[in-house]
Every structure is written in structure tokens, then in C-alpha cells.
Structure 1
Amino acid sequence: MTHSTLPGPTGHASRPGAELTPPSPPRPAPANRAVCSSFATGPRQYDGTFYEFRTYCLKPSKMNEFLENVKKNIYLRTAHSELVGCWSVEFGGRLNKVFHIWKYDNFAHRSEVRKALAKNKEWQEQTLIPNLALIDKQESEITYLVPWCKLEKPPKEGVYELTIFEMKPGGPALWGDAFKRAINAHLHLGYTKLVGVFHTEYGALNRVHVLWWNESADSRAAGRHQSHEDPRVVAAVRESVKYLVSQQNMLLIPASFSPLK
């Protein structure tokens, strides 16, 4: 298992180092000693790359107009930072919703991108200003990929499911290992394909986003029914839900210009 550390008093992960020799005779470890997890903050913080989840709630009947406008001018935006994917919400939660994932090298990179776009008259006049009239609400979250996961590209076009888990306070040191086993139980048994697992840094804390891919909504439904009857999946999920507060999901349809199809 990869060594990991818990955040120190300032919020930064402490560096692994030589352990102090305990006094003689050694004292037993406290019963409430925190358990380190491979799903912890240390490896993530050494890599500055993060992903911004941007969600736009559009006015009714404005979805097509919004997406067409973005499609025509998306090259102006992707010249500054990488678009991972763009989807419309088909099922789950509010309709007329568009969801984007943007990748940044670090926070300085994001600041540079925002400043450049603010000065780009073509982007402002052709995309931003016209689309503002179509938007009711917008939200943003900053997330990191968990250390045991890398972003995967599906083999062909399909549909995506974004599942959002609100976990109990305590962070990955409390629930990370159990959560990882539940995800891997679905993945390794072939019921679906994992695209990425993201842990929120800014937004609702103790939130984990899991992005899945399936060939179709029907294949997703079939895989879900099979997994619910698999004792290996049931056992892993039963352990993980001890730390679960709530969960929700959305079925996402990729936009024509989305890199992830």
C-alpha cells in the first residue's frame, strides 16, 4: 500500500520521516488513533493539477441555443485551458442543466486563464455576453483526482453517470479505504467503466464525485441490477455506507464538442 499522511495543524500534509524511538517500556497506541489511508491528501497536494466542475442551470427551452453558441466558439476557450468534457443532464435533478469539467495545472494557471478571457473581446462578445441571458444559475467546485485513480478515456461513445457522495465528516482518513473498495468492487467485476474519482477541495466538503461510462442507459441499468445481486459488491458497499450521509446521481449526455464522448 502506498504510504500516505494526514494533514497537519496548518492543513498541509506532513512529510513522512523517521519515527521517534518510543520510551522503554513502550506504551500501547491510543484506542482512538487515526487510521492512515491511501486515499489521503498528501499525494494529491504534491500534484497541483485540479479539475473545476462548472454547472450552468439554463432557462427552459434555451439548451440548444446555449450549446450551439458554445460549439461555435469553444476554440476560443480551449486555447487557454483543457476541456475534459461537457454534458447535458438527461436524468437526475434539475433539467436544462449543462455540466463542464475543466483542467488546470494549478491555481496560478486558472487565474491567468480568467484574466486572459476577460481581455478577449471575441470570447466576451460572441459567447459570454449572449449566453449570460440564457443562464439562471451557475455553480463551481474545485476537485482533485484521488491518488489511486487516473482519468480514463472510454473506448467509444456512450453515456455518463455522475454519482455524488456526501460522506461523514472526518475526511478520507475515516472513510477512504472503505469507499475505494466499494468503487473497485464495481469496476473490477466489469459492471461499468470508471472515468474518474474526484474529491472536493472547494465546495461541499467530504464530497466525492464518481464519473462512470456506459454504452447506453439500458446497459447501465442491466449492469446495476447484476451488481446488486453480486455478494462481493454488496459486501463492499455495505461497509462503505456506514460513512455515507447522502448520494445522488445524474445521467449525462456528451455535447457534440465534448472531448469525452
Structure 2
Amino acid sequence: MMLRVPTSKFIPSFSRRAISVQSLLHGSPEAKKAGEIEVQQTCCKPHRHTKHSRLVGRGKYVHGFEVHRVKPDKRKEYQEAAERYYVGIKDDPKLHVKLTGSWETVVGEQDAFFHILEYENYGGYDKTTQLIRTSEHWKAFEDMLPYVNSRTLQLNQEFAFLPTAPPHAQGGIFELRTYQLVPGTLLEWEHTWRRGIEARRKFVAPVGAWFSQVGRLHQVHHMWQYSNLESRKETREQAWQIDGWAETVDKTSQLAKYMDSFVLSPLSFSPLK
């Protein structure tokens, strides 16, 4: 993720839409089984030749983080073009790609839009992107470009201990937190964060957590959903009262060079909203 903004650091009480996730790629038993066979216990010292991604990641999927910085006076036109493109590729069964979610920045770099796409590993990413370039969706993609000042793409893998949430409509806001780690500290960060996450689960259900593999390296991201900013404040204050959370924050902050926080509002066509 290339955006950088200084940080300031539930299950929601409102009703949830009942959906069946058995037919969805996100969070399905097949996805969990395929991904979790990649993980090993990080409390044990890995062989020095073992790849970090195999120790901490779900190997089944790759998530593309697409960030578009849009011309301020063209936000409406951009959103209409983005909906045509992202809904089009999501609904095309030949492409085998899932749209995890699409958001606009509320707090952070303004006029920025985040899109997270899920591919079936790197082979699936290669195949899907090649198919898009020769399909009718390419015209829809090009229709977005006149409204965009700049764009970045980062490929991430999910942490095995926190698979991405399935599509749902709970309302409210999302917070995406990004940490630029000191190189070589991914395993330590994952182990510390995994132990402390249970303190946060008592008050808020995490949406997902990822680490970068292509693009800006040595980054980790995690996403949360709240009913509003006041709910976010109260939830975070409650977490500090639970044993283990203060230690988690202290240890993980020592592994990070800087931290970013983005408050996001889901777009109308976002599966996560």
C-alpha cells in the first residue's frame, strides 16, 4: 500500500443480513482447508530456508490491493465507471476472481478509493489479468482512467490465523491499518499479533489481515468494521482493559517503522459493507 498518513489508534449492535456462505469462495470450508495446510506453528523456530509466507499465510489465495487517487471533481463519474468494471469482472464466471470490497477514504488521503480483489493464487492472478485484457471488461477498465490521477497495486496474502470475512452488509465504517515492518520481523509480528488478537475479538470481529508479497514490501494490513467513529473509540478503550492487549501493542509497535490508519466508507456495490 503506497498511501501514507500519520496515525492518530464488535460485533456491531445493528442487525445483520442473513446470507449463506457455503457457495461463496470467501470463508468456505474448501478455502479454509486449502489454505490452512500451509501454516505451521510459528512458536517453533523455522528452518532458515523455510519461506515466511508458508509459515504464516494461507497459500490458497492472493489479494490484490488496488488504490486509485481520483480527481476531486470527478468522484461521481469515477464511481459509476468503477462499478461497471468491478461488478463486471466479479460476475464473470470465466475470470475466477472475487471482489472482497470497494471503499472510499473518509479519513486519510482524500479522494482515494480502495479495491481488494481475491485471486486463486498467483497462477489465478496471471490467468485472470490476461483474460481481462482481451475481454469486454477492458473497455470498462479504460473508462475509469480519465478520472484517475494515479494508482497503485500491491499483492498480499492472508494471515492463516485470520481469513478474510465473507461478504456481508452490517453498515458503518471500516478501518484499514497498515504497518511498515522492519525487514525480517514478519514472523515475530505474526506470532505476537496472533496471541493478542483474542483480546480484540471480545469486542470486535476482525474483517481480515494480510501481508505484502509484491509491491511495497514488509507491510502488514488488518481491517476492522465499526458502526461509527464513536463505536471505534469505545471498542478500542475496552480492549485496553483486557490482559494481553497492551503487551501486544507494545511489542508490535517496536517492530514497525511507521503505522497508517484509514477510515473507509464502502461503495454501494461493495460485497463487504
Query: 1:201-244 CA distances to partner (integer Å, 9 max, x unpaired)?
Result: 11232211001111222211221233345564223312322222
1:218 aligns with 2:212: no
Q: Identify which of 79, 84, 87 aligns with 2:103.
A: 87
Q: Number of paired residues?
A: 228
Q: Identify which of 111, 124, 135 aligns with 1:96.
A: 111
1:255 aligns with 2:267: yes
1:1-261 alignment runs, 5 A limit: 2-4=40-42, 6=46, 8-9=48-49, 13=51, 40-43=52-55, 47-78=59-90, 79=92, 80=95, 81-92=97-108, 94-120=109-135, 122-125=136-139, 127-153=140-166, 156-187=170-201, 189-190=202-203, 192-228=204-240, 230=242, 232-261=244-273
- RMSD over equivalenced CA pairs, Å: 2.4
Q: Whose radius of gyration is greater, 1 or 2? A: 1
Q: Distance in 2 between matches of 1:222 and 1:75?
A: 35
Say which SS state the counterpart of residue 61 (structure 1) adopts.
helix
Q: Which residue of 2 aligns with 1:33?
A: none
State the one-letter code of the partner of 2:147: L
Shift of 1:167: 1.8
Q: Structure 2: 5+ residue runs without aligned partners? A: 1-38
Greater mean alpha carbon deviation, residues 109-118 or residues 172-181: 172-181
Shift of 1:145: 0.7
Distance 1:174 1:6, change over 3 A: same
Shift of 1:118: 1.2
TM-score, structure 1 normalization: 0.78
Query: 1:117-158 CA distances to partner (integer Å, 9 max, x unpaired)?
Result: 1112x3233x22221111111111111111211112456222
RCO higher in structure (CA 8 A, sep ≥6): 2
Q: Structure 1: 5+ residue runs without aligned partners? A: 14-39
